[in-house]
Structure 1
Amino acid sequence: MRIFGILKISILLLIVTVCSGQSSKLNLSNYNIIWHSQSKNSSESMPLGGGDVGLNVWVENGELLFYVSQSGTFDENNQMLKHGRVRMNVEPNPFEDGDSFSQKLVLEDGNIIIKAKKGGHEITMNLWVDVFHPVVHIETESTIPVEVTASYESWRTEDIVVPKGMRHASFSLTNYPGEVKTYKDEIKANNNQVMWFHCNREDRLLYDFCVKQQGLEGVKDQIVNTQKGRTFGGILKGEGMVDAGTSNGKYVSTNFKAWHLKTSEKTTSNTVQLYLHTDICDSADEWKKEVQNLVEKTSKNTADAKRKTKEWWHKYWERSYIGINTEKADTGDAAWQVGRNYQLFRYMLGCNAYGDYPSKFNGSLFTVDPVFVTEKEFDWTPDFRQWGGGSFTAQNQRLVYWPMLKSGDFDMMPPQFNYYERILSSAEARTKVYWGHEGACFTEQLENFGLPFAGGWGFESGARKRQPETEFGVQTNKYVNHHYVNQLEFSLMILDYYQFSGENINKYLPFIKSSLKFFDEHYQYRQKQRTGETLDKEGKLVFYPSTAAEMYKIAKNPVDVISALKAILPRMIMLPDELVATDEKKYYQSFLERVPEITFDEKEGHKVIKPAESWEYVANQEVPELYTVYPYSIYGINKPDLDVAINTYWHGESKEKRKFEVCWSQVGIFAARMGLTEEAERLVKIKLADAPRRFPAFWGPGPDWVPDVDHGGSGMVNLQEMLMQTDGKEILLFPSWPKDWDVHFKMHAPNNTVVEAELKGGKLVRLNVTPKNREKDIQVLIK
């Protein structure tokens, strides 16, 4: 009740006269990560990336190493494979028993600089990734001539049978009773370069297995094949470098073969490049031609590419930031740590700004040898990650992309939207086959060709056997059966994207419309099956059997489904006629009138939101009642009955689940959105505290993996909502902000609005709003 009292005071809004001041950039240099000792192993690596490429960079035993990942590198089993590993060394080598060493991530420029000194010998290695082309650059400068060796290392030189305990990297096949293989790459060194590629075998595609397993062979032409012809690989070459043979070795627990390039003579200046290419190709020859075209296109314009890459990162940091207690770079200050790690995680998201596929919640582009992540049972190749590579879990993915609205990273959001738009026909086809009605059904854990993961459907035998009583079209898996609501949440995200940025969303409207139609037609179909009528006696839809998140299963009228529809349908009606026609708006109005009301309960003498009217069992760790607060904004500051939502937080059915505070947990976001400042502060400190690894933003594993990307995304939203909330035209500043945290931020609001503000000693000292006419919509809530 004490926190509730503070909240009531904050709602007595202080409307300030907005005074413009000169904009002031955040000093990013205080957030650069600098290491003065070499790393023990790959778990102590540093992320680097750009465009759609990610590297894990570290120096170990006097050698530079980095893993290479790229968006879209999905194999036959829909694992997300790495390109491989690169190892570089120089001779004479100042990294060995040198006088000094440093490895520095320069956030502002998006590069890593590694330096070593031994006596009079100094060496500098500069690593950067071209944002606009998938090319990695390593530039070496030495005060004395050195021999530079660059080696491409691969552990996929032979077909490998994947043990059952290691199949989580292909999530569909985790408990598959048959044999699973990872197929070898083609690797060859000639013409003083190393070329490698993986071309998916057409007779071993998970796509074909799932189509047959799920009874969809009759509509196979409508199921998008994202695996056929998928080819990925690259070329390693360097200035003045020649073939230097091969060798075999072992890193940690994985055997590898290395192809070496070496400078033909000692030099004080050297450059090495990796040219990466991932595409759907008709043949290996087509891929080879395309990657050679990339080499020819980019190799002559390195200086221009470097300049444009720096400019991109500079603009990236200029458009948004949050700095806390920035007067002093105090790593022991939990609040300063939160601000620093917010920046570091946003940097990691920027490394996959333009990938064909969204940044994966379970590691993104930055996974390393799994033995360093969790128990010894995961002692497998560096390609391993839990929860699969080409399968996407919606409740986790959404949290990676929600923070991009307020950070203004609108250009980075289409990969997530394109993911659903690409497989719309698959989702519509399965709906028609299973239930005979219209609309798209996207399941919670979805392969990138639009079908549920095979293990969730169930196999013919074994530990994940499909039960004979399971209805055709429904998954056997008890966590995700009947779980379709997140297609609505991504629909809302697209509508918010339009509201914030004004960008054209015509491409995504079919996805939204089909997602909505499914919920109308499917639950009329279900009700008619049971009663012979499409609606209940009050003329309302009955959402049964359904689920409240992954929590309350075989549920009737779950609150997240109801609140999603109540949030989205009015937004569709409000869109311009050129986006949604008048007849469609009439349909959405009638649909809205059919949506049932949220149900309530009484707990410990308090009125609370109920997770659903009824349910049969509980399966996970969620608080679905408070999806009414975020993302669906039914309750919130300045809205009616906020006390009911607050009661639900403290006393509701799911109150014990608030103890789950990591990974996908939204409890900090809920607290921030309701003005529970002390709770929001406590929880954001958990989310954005230093990770238990050398790089502070490599959180996890939690239930997911390392780095835990949805953990970082939910932490970003937690912090953003403490600082600024928007509702319609309203912009609320500092609704849940600790009075003893100084802050300087720049964030984005709807209608292409940018807000920059600075708070010192509990007083607002700077407030700039662009455009100026939005100043009238600002309300400042300083407790």
Structure 2
Amino acid sequence: MPPKSIIRIGMAATLVAVLAPASATPPANTTWEEELAAYNVVWDSPSKSSVDSMPLAGGILGLNVWVEKGELCFLMGSPNCMDENGMQPKLGLVRLRFFPAVFEQDFRQELRLAQSEIIVSGKTASGTRVSVKLWCAVDQPLVHAETTASEPVEVTASYETWSNYDAKVDKGAIQWSRRLAQVNARRKNDLEAQGMAEFEDKVPDPLSGLICGGRMTAPGMVEAGSGVGLFNGLKTQTCSLKTAAPVKQLDLCITLRMEQEKSLATWEAQLDKHARRAAQNAKSDRFATQAWWNVFWSRSHITINPGAPPTDEAWQAGRNYQLIRYMSASNVNGRAMTLFNGGQFTCTDNPDRRAWEGCQFMAQNQRLVYWPMLRAGDFDLLQVATDFYRDRTEMSRLHARKFWDVDGVAWSEAFSIFGLDSIGTTADGRCSARHLPHHYTSGMEFALMMLEMGRYTGKEFRNYRDAAIGIIRYYDQFHQKSLAKKTGKPLDAKGHLVIYPSDACEPYHGCTNNTDVIAGLTALTRELLVLPKGTLSTGERAYVEGFQKRIPPFPMKEQEGRKYFAAAESWEWVFENGNMDFPQMYVCFPFSILSLGRSDMTLAKNTWDLAPIKPAI
């Protein structure tokens, strides 16, 4: 049976990590390729439902693959497939049925990581061997399901939707589409409600006129009817094709398209063009896809206890590293970030729905998807997120200028597809959630990722440093103005900012000089000032150096003679929602003020031992 979870956290042992540039030519027949094969996931019996599915990754596709009651099924997801609110619903479900039944004996389902393919195989009751190989292209949204049988079998391929796609059989193919309104109502309403309508041309619009869908075809298949079905308790619309005669080989090609078009006719014409090209170029597409995966695996992988049995927890930790990188590669060049709450691989109940979906790209959760990519050298994957934030920097600057009269950047914690606040804002431009009005720390993390990408790669990314400087200017200008209104002076007696009001993550509010913000500002100034000579203008460098002197010291407490970081100098109230955020430890992760092997970790250890995980209300 498939395990309940194919990812399990284990203990780390001796490991070897390899990091190579993305452009490197992968070596052939190396030891790591053999070791990678040992991390393949193999199941020896069918699944009970979509919950027991296996991930298959492509450049902007994520498939959930499983066999249920003799049918090979897969859900198709993509970051580029969005609904009216900017969430990421599925592109639909495909079922393959065989006659005679082909998974009666010798069932095997294997995820082959090096090749990024899933092979499902079995035998009929009479001994006919059948295998189906599924793979996705990387540079285009394309799926192939290749069936090979020792004796001819009949194949029926069905497309199913519960998401209001318009599906039909067209010229021996199944085609489906879902078109969003030419003017997106959510964007229009949010612009007006959040006071940003005057800046409409600066606010990204990825939803208006977006058409998502696809075309499924294979040589020798004919229409097999349409009707209704049931998937996870959801009523579905179905369309089917079947082989005109039993076959030994069949390449079912699914071409997907998710683009903004002025007319459905234009979109359909382009889909048809891409589908024809895909049918003619399967071999070259497979070669290009394989070459990409070879580079992907050669640039970063971890081997722990090679040769150990799968029950070894350290070996499991190594496999988990491969598996999470693999699933992350389902968004190499998408127009939206991989959502923290399931990515492209949601599969339970209604797989279009997610926990916390009203928050959209909740930054405190999104950051955890993307930090590992920096360390792994997966800059192409990471750039999807950093560009997403960068492209919403100017509108954030306009927002700060209008509402707070400062020339800076403050990305909302609850971040929408447009870069607006996904929850909503108050009259003074702050998030309307009572625990988030001054929580901008997570945005600092994405700005820091931008700077770190430049440091790691030696490249300069367009407008990346502008975000970091913008964030510094927001804190500098806003809090100088705030203090001046209260005391007549912009800085305290020692020439430091007084950061108030502020939020220390989600629990602490009405904070003065909270640790997470101070750590973030310290990290951003640190990285800006080590940029190569000439990267910052003379004026920019002078400003950052001056700001660095205005950052307040970290708030400290002492217990039993041991000093440790406090959440803030003071706070006015605590938000109790079950979360146990620990802003004191932001000095370690993500901002590396203290880090193993590079600094004395006594304060970090003391903070871990003595600081309250859950604040008193």
CA distance, structure 1, for counterparts of residue 106 and residue 551 of structure 2: 67
Partner of 2:127: 120
Q: How does 1:210-229 map to 2 (within 5 A)?
A: 210-229=190-209
Q: Does 1:368 align with 2:327?
A: no
Partner of 2:594: 635
CA 1:64–1:389 in 2, change beyond 3 Å: closer, same or farther?
farther
Matched-pair contact (CA < 8 Å) for 1:80–1:390 = no
Q: Does 1:387 align with 2:356?
A: yes
Q: Does 1:425 align with 2:394?
A: yes
Q: How does 1:251-266 map to 2 (within 5 A)?
A: 251-266=231-246
TM-score normalised by L of structure 1: 0.72
Matched-pair contact (CA < 8 Å) for 1:205–1:227 = no
Partner of 2:45: 37
Unaligned runs of 5+ in 2: 1-28
Partner of 1:300: 280
Q: Displacement, 1:299? A: 2.4
Partner of 1:70: 78
Q: Does 1:185 align with 2:141?
A: no
Q: Displacement, 1:104? A: 0.5
CA distance, structure 1, for counterparts of residue 605 and residue 234 of structure 2: 51
Matched-pair contact (CA < 8 Å) for 1:45–1:57 = yes
Give the alignment's Cα RMSD to 1 decimal. 2.0
Aligned partner letter, 1:305: D
Decide which of 436, 451, 466 is 1:510's aligned counterpart. Answer: 466
CA distance, structure 2, for counterparts of residue 251 and residue 23 of structure 1: 43
CA distance, structure 1, for counterparts of residue 171 and residue 477 of structure 2: 61
CA distance, structure 2, for counterparts of residue 85 and residue 515 of structure 1: 43
Aligned partner letter, 2:199: V
Matched-pair contact (CA < 8 Å) for 1:423–1:448 = no
CA distance, structure 2, for counterparts of residue 404 and residue 263 of structure 1: 43
Partner of 2:154: 147
Q: Displacement, 1:592? A: 0.9
CA distance, structure 2, for counterparts of residue 532 and residue 543 of structure 1: 15
Partner of 1:598: 554
CA distance, structure 1, for counterparts of residue 571 and residue 605 of structure 2: 23
Partner of 1:475: 431
Q: Displacement, 1:569? A: 0.9
Q: Displacement, 1:655? A: 7.1
Task: Give the stretch that moved more between structures: 108-117 or 387-396.
Answer: 387-396
Partner of 1:588: 544
Matched-pair contact (CA < 8 Å) for 1:68–1:83 = yes
Q: Does 1:411 align with 2:380?
A: yes
Matched-pair contact (CA < 8 Å) for 1:479–1:551 = yes
CA distance, structure 2, for counterparts of residue 296 and residue 204 of structure 1: 31
Q: Does 1:102 align with 2:102?
A: no
For residue 316 of structure 1, give the secondary structure of its aligned residue in structure 2: helix
CA distance, structure 2, for counterparts of residue 557 and residue 649 of structure 1: 20
CA 1:543–1:640 in 2, change beyond 3 Å: closer, same or farther?
same
Q: Does 1:612 align with 2:581?
A: no
CA 1:129–1:290 in 2, change beyond 3 Å: closer, same or farther?
same
CA 1:652–1:584 in 2, change beyond 3 Å: closer, same or farther?
same
Task: Give the stretch that moved more between structures: 290-299 or 43-52.
Answer: 290-299
CA distance, structure 1, for counterparts of residue 208 and residue 534 of structure 2: 37
What per-residue deviation string (whole Å, max 9, x for no partner) do you get for residues 154-185 of structure 1?
113xxxxxxxxxxxxxxxxxxxxxxxxxxx33
For residue 506 of structure 1, give the secondary structure of its aligned residue in structure 2: coil
CA distance, structure 2, for counterparts of residue 345 and residue 309 of structure 1: 19
Q: Displacement, 1:351? A: 2.3
Matched-pair contact (CA < 8 Å) for 1:78–1:388 = no
CA 1:24–1:649 in 2, change beyond 3 Å: closer, same or farther?
same
CA distance, structure 2, for counterparts of residue 476 and residue 655 of structure 1: 24
CA distance, structure 2, for counterparts of residue 607 and residue 641 of structure 1: 13
Partner of 2:446: 490
Q: Displacement, 1:219? A: 2.7
CA distance, structure 2, for counterparts of residue 494 and residue 215 of structure 1: 29
Q: Displacement, 1:190? A: 1.1
Matched-pair contact (CA < 8 Å) for 2:217–2:254 = yes
Partner of 1:291: 271
Partner of 2:9: none
CA distance, structure 2, for counterparts of residue 99 and residue 641 of structure 1: 60
CA 1:521–1:125 in 2, change beyond 3 Å: closer, same or farther?
same
Matched-pair contact (CA < 8 Å) for 1:426–1:449 = no
Q: Displacement, 1:648? A: 0.5
Q: Does 1:87 align with 2:95?
A: yes
Q: Displacement, 1:513? A: 2.5
CA distance, structure 2, for counterparts of residue 408 and residue 573 of structure 1: 23
Partner of 1:341: 320
Matched-pair contact (CA < 8 Å) for 1:506–1:579 = no
Task: Give the stretch that moved more between structures: 194-203 or 244-253.
Answer: 194-203
Task: Give the stretch that moved more between structures: 515-524 or 252-261.
Answer: 515-524
Q: Does 1:401 align with 2:370?
A: yes
CA distance, structure 1, for counterparts of residue 112 and residue 431 of structure 2: 47
What per-residue deviation string (whole Å, max 9, x for no partner) do you get for residues 406-445 of structure 1?
2221222110111112222321222122112211221111
CA distance, structure 1, for counterparts of residue 270 and residue 479 of structure 2: 48
Aligned partner letter, 2:586: Y
What per-residue deviation string (whole Å, max 9, x for no partner) do you get for residues 672-700 of structure 1?
xxxxxxxxxxxxxxxxxxxxxxxxxxxxx
Q: Displacement, 1:604? A: 4.0
Matched-pair contact (CA < 8 Å) for 2:359–2:422 = no
Q: Displacement, 1:313? A: 1.6
Matched-pair contact (CA < 8 Å) for 1:111–1:128 = yes
Partner of 1:327: 307
CA 1:344–1:638 in 2, change beyond 3 Å: closer, same or farther?
closer
Q: Displacement, 1:528? A: 2.7
Q: Displacement, 1:50? A: 0.9
Partner of 1:546: 502
CA distance, structure 2, for counterparts of residue 310 and residue 132 of structure 1: 11
Aligned partner letter, 1:428: R
Task: Give the stretch that moved more between structures: 120-129 or 311-320.
Answer: 311-320
What per-residue deviation string (whole Å, max 9, x for no partner) do you get for residues 495-514 of structure 1?
11111122331242332232
Aligned partner letter, 2:115: D
Aligned partner letter, 1:102: R
Aligned partner letter, 1:404: M
CA distance, structure 2, for counterparts of residue 597 and residue 67 of structure 1: 51
What per-residue deviation string (whole Å, max 9, x for no partner) do you get for residues 330-356 of structure 1?
222222221112211111112222222
Unaligned runs of 5+ in 1: 1-21, 157-183, 371-380, 458-469, 658-783
For residue 446 of structure 2, give the secondary structure of its aligned residue in structure 1: helix
CA distance, structure 1, for counterparts of residue 598 and residue 329 of structure 2: 35
Q: Does 1:242 align with 2:211?
A: no
Matched-pair contact (CA < 8 Å) for 1:79–1:390 = no
CA distance, structure 1, for counterparts of residue 260 and residue 489 of structure 2: 47
Aligned partner letter, 1:30: A
CA distance, structure 1, for counterparts of residue 128 and residue 331 of structure 2: 36
Matched-pair contact (CA < 8 Å) for 1:78–1:389 = no
Task: Give the stretch that moved more between structures: 423-432 or 140-149.
Answer: 423-432
Kindly tell me the number of residue pairs found equivalent between the two proteins.
583
CA distance, structure 1, for counterparts of residue 57 and residue 259 of structure 2: 19
CA distance, structure 2, for counterparts of residue 450 and residue 500 of structure 1: 27
For residue 648 of structure 1, give the secondary structure of its aligned residue in structure 2: helix
Using CA pairs below 8 Å that are at least 6 residues apart, which structure has the higher relative contact order? 1
Decide which of 645, 649, 653 is 2:604's aligned counterpart. Answer: 645
CA distance, structure 2, for counterparts of residue 526 and residue 483 of structure 1: 17
Partner of 1:13: none
CA distance, structure 2, for counterparts of residue 203 and residue 312 of structure 1: 37
Q: Displacement, 1:596? A: 0.7
CA distance, structure 2, for counterparts of residue 537 and residue 602 of structure 1: 24
